[in-house]
Amino acid sequence: MHIPDGFVSPSICITGYAITGGLTWYSLQQIKKDSNPQKKIPRASLFTAAFFVASLIHIPIPPASIHLVLNGMMGAILGYYSFLAILIGLFFQTVMFQHGGLSTLGINAVIMGIPALFAYHIFRINNQSQTRKKIWTQVLAFCAGTGALLLSATLFTVIIITNITSELDAQAEINAIYLSLISYVIQAIIEGIFTVMLISFLEQVKPEILKQ
């Protein structure tokens, strides 16, 4: 779900950077409200590294392959730190492995960062319940992991379809994109299960990590 340089118009790139700038500022403002924001920086750094490395691990699902995105998991655990972590991870993926592009860094951050914040708010519904049950935590973790990936795939699909140039076979490209959505659904389920497993593990060994 990395949009490369030159695929979308300059106006889309500028809009992406504007939205990313606004969300970065907003995330920082929310982080400042934390009683000890520096304490969570090592945790955010660890998950930034996990997000960065995940793009290199491909899971074969014929006729293609997928890699974990982990934006839902990051949102559930990191909260507002997740948007900054994803932005930094995307930057290093771009400069080191050419995944995406510098001109589209802003729009790629929007595609993956907004769903991470969505996952954070979904998972935090758990803190509003009077009885914190294990099954409820797992359901919300699955929804956070799956929902974030599906939202990212939807944003990516809409942007790609609405920016197909006349030089390309538009119908063929659209059919290919719709076909890829099947793999995204499978990937979303995998990410949901992975998020449930990690959240369940952290609840057992280090539950304070899940507190915001």
| pLDDT tens column, 66-105 | 678 889 999 999 999 999 999 999 999 888 888 888 999 9
Domain count of the fold of the chain? 1
Q: Specify the CATH number for the domain of residue 155.
A: 1.10.1760.20
CA distances from 169 to 49, 158, 172 (A): 38, 17, 5
Among the listed residues 44, 55, 19, the one whose alpha carbon sits nearest the alpha carbon of residue 120: 44
Tokens of 26: 């907003």
pLDDT band at 23 (very low <50, low <70, confident <90, very high): very high
Q: Supply the range of the domain harboring residue 50.
A: 10-210
pLDDT band at 110 (very low <50, low <70, confident <90, very high): very high
Is residue 44 one of the residues assigned to a domain? yes
Give the separation between CA 175 and CA 132, rounded to whole angstroms: 44
Is residue 1 one of the residues assigned to a domain? no
Is residue 4 one of the residues assigned to a domain? no
Tokens of 16: 């992406």
Among the listed residues 146, 152, 151, 153, the one whose alpha carbon sits nearest the alpha carbon of residue 188: 146
Torsion of CA 205, 66, 44, 102, to 10 degrees: 180
Is residue 59 one of the residues assigned to a domain? yes
Q: pTM for the complete prediction?
A: 0.86
